[in-house]
Amino acid sequence: MQKRRLGRSHLEVSAIGLGCMGMSFGYGPAKDRQEMIALIRAAVERGVTFFDTAQVYGPFTNEELVGEALAPFRGQVVIATKFGFDFDDAGRQREGLNSRPAYIRKMTEGSLQRLQVEAIDLYYQHRVDPAVPIEEVAGTVKELIREGKVRHFGLSEAGAQTIRRAHAVQPVTALQSEYSLWWREPEAVLLPTLEELGIGFVPFSPLGRGFLTGQVDERTTFESGDFRNTVPRFSSENRKANQPLVDLLAAIAERKRATAAQIALAWLLARKPWIVPIPGTTRLTRLEENLGAAALELSTEDLEGIERAAAGITVHGERYSESSQRMVDR
């Protein structure tokens, strides 16, 4: 597995990471714990060194899963987790966000225990909290880094001005936001900002929450508890309208003797050398398929062809429900 450095930081990770959320949260019932531990360890065996989780996934059960699975590989892998959602004393998620400094500190101690680590490799603010100045958040993480409890600071779904303000207090190692062929908004402002500041980019949902794999169509039904049931982009009519994008990937995949998912990931890898996508999966076959994208080279002609074809395709539907969209910093 090739390695990449996140921006101008010294944090080097596998060119493709593993998003672990869906193993226990967001896509229907949690999967079998021992099977997911085996899958995470299989990823390590195949060269993956970058694993993504968050406090809110579960809540907390995903951090526990990742911590147990990666315990034998301390010092060999990079674990990223996220803070910023609010929980009551019983660990139940409350509505809204909470990035108050004292609360960040409290939640950090829990993450360290669940992940079974002495320091969190990459600690993202999961969503920008409008009630807390980003300078206070960055300052708190800076103190945690000084204390040896965190190694790198990240932001998730943050806008360019917020990134600049945070970076001025504590250098931001990586931004995590959605980016793929069917969500290209980051290209306008975010990517130039990250390149200027030397910040890495970690796209989540690089396969469009499964849609770009070609395994989801207008007839697909999702399990109860699968958040795609609430996403406008995943309405049956929008899936049908967005099918031309999948057809484009499938046509290129056939020519390159690859899969649509591999083309979608290879396209991201070709955008910038400091982009590290984190596709998620709960199946070994899909893991191996995704990792195969790292060895797939798209020529200049391939990339130009994708651009020309994609320019004529309009993507239909919002990527978040209205309530979730309110938490995205612009």
Interatomic CA distance for residues 319 and 225, integer angstroms: 17
Interatomic CA distance for residues 59 and 43, integer angstroms: 23
Interatomic CA distance for residues 213 and 253, integer angstroms: 11
Interatomic CA distance for residues 53 and 31, integer angstroms: 15
Torsion of CA 68, 71, 72, 78, to 10 degrees: 120
Question: Are the C-beta atoms of 205 and 173 separated by less than 8 Å?
Answer: no
Q: What is the DSSP letter of 130?
A: T
- Residue 268 buriedness (CB in 10 A; 0-12 / 13-18 / 19+): buried
Nearest to 291 by CA among 254, 270, 261: 261
Question: Are the C-beta atoms of 273 and 191 separated by less than 8 Å?
Answer: no
The DSSP H or E segment spanning 290 is: helix 284-291
In the set 27, 57, 103, 124, the catalytic residue is 57
Interatomic CA distance for residues 87 and 39, integer angstroms: 29
- The verdict on whether 57 is a catalytic residue reads yes
Beta strands 18-19; 85-87: pairing state? unpaired
Catalytic residue IDs:
57
